[in-house]
Amino acid sequence: MKYLFLLISAITFAQQSKSVDFKSVGGQITINSKAKSVSGAVSYWFNVLKETDTIKIDGQNMDFSDAELNQKKIQFITNGKQILLISHFKKGKNNVSFNYVAKPKQALYFVGSEEKDNVQIWTQGQGKNTSNWLPSFDDVNEKMIFSLEIVVDSKYQVISNGILKSKVNNDSMTYWRFNMQKPMSSYLLMLAIGKFEKQIQQSNSGIPLEMYLEPKDATKFEPTYRDSKIMFDFLEKEIGVKYPWEIYKQAPVRDFLYAGMENASATLFNTRYVVDSTGFEDRSYTNVNAHELAHQWFGNLVTAESGKHHWLQEGFATYYALLVEKEIYGEDYFYSKLYESAQQLKFASRTDTIPVLNAKASTLTFYQKGAWALFVLQKEIGDKAFKKAVSNYLKKHAFKSVNTPDFFAEIKKVSRYDLDNFSKVWLENTVFNTQQANSLLLKNKDIQILFEVDKLKNKPLSEKRDFLKKTMQSDVCFSVKEAILNQLKNENWEDKKSFFILALETKNMQLRQSVAASLNEIPESFRTQYETLLQDKSYQTQEIALYNLWHNFPVQRIQYLDKSKTWIGFNDYNLRTLWLTLALSTPNYAEEKGALINELIQYSSINYEANTRQNALDKLLSFKIINDVVLENLVNSTTHHMWHFSKFGRDNIRKLLKNSEMRASLERIVPDLNEAERFQLNRLLKE
């Protein structure tokens, strides 16, 4: 049977799209937060184009039952990756249905706990992972119309794709029915389940814009979602194609894997971007917001047929997000961001041997070089022609899969531009075309000055002082002034002091932060000016300044700690965890050290998000505040679904194991760990 299955599976992969055209799927999905499981009954409607005996639907590690074709039972087999429905499928319209149960290992995540009453359940299907919680299609080219009813405990809300058609309470469970009107790829399906508050705006074109936050963050709606409506209205006008769905939703979820994800009609994003007005200065959601929104057209309306053409999604979303920021922050900001990415690409191209048109291209290549290619193309053929081509491209291929020649075909209709050469230079070559990039950047006056500053980097300060000082006193954008400060790093303090004073006097938040970060050693003569950074409305600047002042001026430590003892910072407690660490490390300051230690350790526990936990663990380890509870929390981090946090845990355990006392402590706590934690720690102990 094993070999027969492999043969059938291979045939299915190769021939199914030619034999079967899936149209829609409906189903009822029940989520069990306690068991961390999902069960459901799903139904697929499809047209058989060519008679076949097997149909495949992806389903990872699922138990299936009750398979039917047109309401008559049929046979099926599965290997843990898909269900193969076996029957005589005749030409014409058909329906298959079946039940399933699964405990997803990925794609459907359960965070929080019933005990703490802070459960959140959310999905992340990027690429081909939706089949871990819903039988669906890993192939992005298979698009269908989804209509799902989600059944959950009545104390939770559900956010999903499309319009909420009905919400019915039945004892302790609530049935939420969502309908989409247009086809989409399975990876764009989403769920977010938890406790949320909602605010609604409306776009100029009449699309409801639903914005969600957890109740504890209800005061942060405005700064978190600032300019969202402006972005939406701008993109509809700039792209020239109406938003493709009936509604647009956005919700932050805890411990999300990425910055954001552009599910069809509903974006999920990381809670690090849930900010107050002060946090907005450092962690604005603006770029992520615009990027994921742009994907509703570039990726969701039209989907790259394969990884080779992934730039048609990420390059476009990155570029249109930049255009949004240009609309909000101005042309100088736009060009400074292009300059910044050009520098990154130029440096990376020395070692990066994979071009844009390759499924294995790096994130930097797909996103930033893809965006640069579009910027070049728009400037070369002109705004009017570029916009017309993009609009035609989207309309012609709406709700379908696309490749680069599809886009180029529309460019050819509006311009005689040499696309073969363009493709070779920007999409097929790994070298960044600095000459062409610079010629476009130099059309901006601030970038012209930035280039002048850069030319002076090897000149002695005495020869460039007057020019640099005049530039610092001008209204040129902050990135130029930041470049001046960076150029002065190795100069004698007395020679460069006046520049740092000028930088502080600009009152520009970002430039003042550059001052904070560039002076690890603060001269006494500059202490008073540097102390003003503690008053900046920027949690990141305050964190840098507080630590540097505490480190440089032991005599004033109590003064600094008293000033900052009520600071909290971002939602990852960056200022609070720093204050606790510094207070514990300052002799004769904290009377109740035990309480402070317990508070800091608490932030490293499973009761907090990964960003908060890593923040706390990093400080505990750096300042050598380590006990068994700290070690247990560190080991637990290695089991977390966020890869960067689990890697942080593994890397730090490896460092601790080099110390014989720490190794003995880690070996001692093994019996107190759960099964997953023991597995991870024992593996590290054996390395």
Tens digit of each residue's pLDDT (9 = 90 or more) over 520-531: 999 999 999 999
State the average pLDDT over residues 103-112: 96
Each residue's pLDDT tens digit, 644-668: 999 999 999 999 999 999 999 999 9
Closest CA to 343 of 472, 479, 470, 223: 479
Residue 24: phi and psi, rounded to 5, are -155, 165
State the average pLDDT over residues 69-78: 96
CA pair distance 574, 584, nearest whole angstrom: 16
Residue 14: phi and psi, rounded to 5, are -75, -35
Residue spans in the chain of domains classed CATH 1.10.390.10: 302-443
* H/E stretch holding 487: helix 478-487
Are residues 145 and 265 in contact, defined by beta-carbon separation less than 8 angstroms? no
Q: Which pLDDT belongs to residue 591?
A: 84
Are residues 348 and 363 in contact, defined by beta-carbon separation less than 8 angstroms? no
Q: Which pLDDT belongs to residue 590?
A: 86
Taking the C-alpha atoms of 333, 336, 341 and 346 in order, what is their torsion angle to the nearest 10 degrees? 170
Q: Is it the case that residue 14 has pLDDT exceeding 60?
A: no
Each residue's pLDDT tens digit, 624-640: 999 999 999 999 999 99
Each residue's pLDDT tens digit, 84-94: 999 999 999 99
State the average pLDDT over residues 136-156: 97
Strand ranges of the sheet holding 248-253, from the earlier edge strand across to the other edge = 197-202, 208-213, 248-253, 266-270, 260-263
Q: Is it the case that residue 127 has pLDDT exceeding 80?
A: no
CA pair distance 122, 110, nearest whole angstrom: 7
State the average pLDDT over residues 154-178: 97
Contacts of the segment 68-72: beta carbons below 8 A, 24+ positions apart: 68/96, 68/97, 68/98, 69/94, 69/95, 69/96, 70/94, 70/95, 71/95, 71/97
Are residues 529 and 521 in contact, defined by beta-carbon separation less than 8 angstroms? no
CA distances from 479 to 50, 290, 465 (A): 61, 22, 18
Cβ neighbours of residue 668 closer than 8 Å, sequence gap 6 or more = 628
Closest CA to 131 of 196, 55, 80, 65: 80
Q: Which pLDDT belongs to residue 218?
A: 97
Q: Which pLDDT belongs to residue 17?
A: 75
Angle between helices 493-505 and 509-518 (to 10 degrees): 150
Q: Which pLDDT belongs to residue 13?
A: 46
Considering only the top CATH level, what class is 1-102+127-177?
mainly beta
Q: Is it the case that residue 190 has pLDDT exceeding 50?
A: yes
Q: Which pLDDT belongs to residue 569?
A: 97
Q: Which pLDDT belongs to residue 358?
A: 97
Q: Which pLDDT belongs to residue 159?
A: 98
Are residues 224 and 286 in contact, defined by beta-carbon separation less than 8 angstroms? no
- At 16, the pLDDT band (50, 70, 90 cuts) reads confident
* H/E stretch holding 403: none
CA pair distance 578, 593, nearest whole angstrom: 15
pTM, two decimal places: 0.95
Q: Which pLDDT belongs to residue 317?
A: 98
Q: Which pLDDT belongs to residue 504?
A: 97
Closest CA to 638 of 668, 610, 672: 610
Each residue's pLDDT tens digit, 18-35: 899 999 999 999 999 999
* Residue the block writes with tokens 């035990």: 594
- At 477, the pLDDT band (50, 70, 90 cuts) reads very high
Three-state DSSP state, 30 = strand
- At 4, the pLDDT band (50, 70, 90 cuts) reads very low
Mean confidence (pLDDT) of the chain: 95
CA pair distance 646, 614, nearest whole angstrom: 10
Each residue's pLDDT tens digit, 568-581: 999 999 999 999 99
Cβ neighbours of residue 317 closer than 8 Å, sequence gap 6 or more = 262, 291, 292, 294, 295, 298, 299, 367
Residue spans in the chain of domains classed CATH 2.60.40.1730: 1-102+127-177
Each residue's pLDDT tens digit, 255-266: 999 999 999 999
Q: Is it the case that residue 104 has pLDDT exceeding 70?
A: yes
- At 9, the pLDDT band (50, 70, 90 cuts) reads very low
State the average pLDDT over residues 614-632: 95
Q: Is it the case that residue 68 has pLDDT exceeding 70?
A: yes
- Tokens describing residue 155: 């104390």
Q: Is it the case that residue 7 has pLDDT exceeding 80?
A: no
Each residue's pLDDT tens digit, 224-279: 999 999 999 999 999 999 999 999 999 999 999 999 999 999 999 999 999 999 99
Q: Is it the case that residue 11 has pLDDT exceeding 80?
A: no
CATH superfamily assigned to domain 302-443: Neutral Protease Domain 2 (1.10.390.10)
Report the relative pairing of strands 52-58 and 108-111 from DSSP bridges: unpaired
Each residue's pLDDT tens digit, 280-321: 999 999 999 999 999 999 999 999 999 999 999 999 999 999
Query: Which residues share a beta bridge with 48?
Result: 20, 92
Q: Is it the case that residue 584 has pLDDT exceeding 80?
A: yes
- At 15, the pLDDT band (50, 70, 90 cuts) reads low
Are residues 680 and 635 in contact, defined by beta-carbon separation less than 8 angstroms? yes
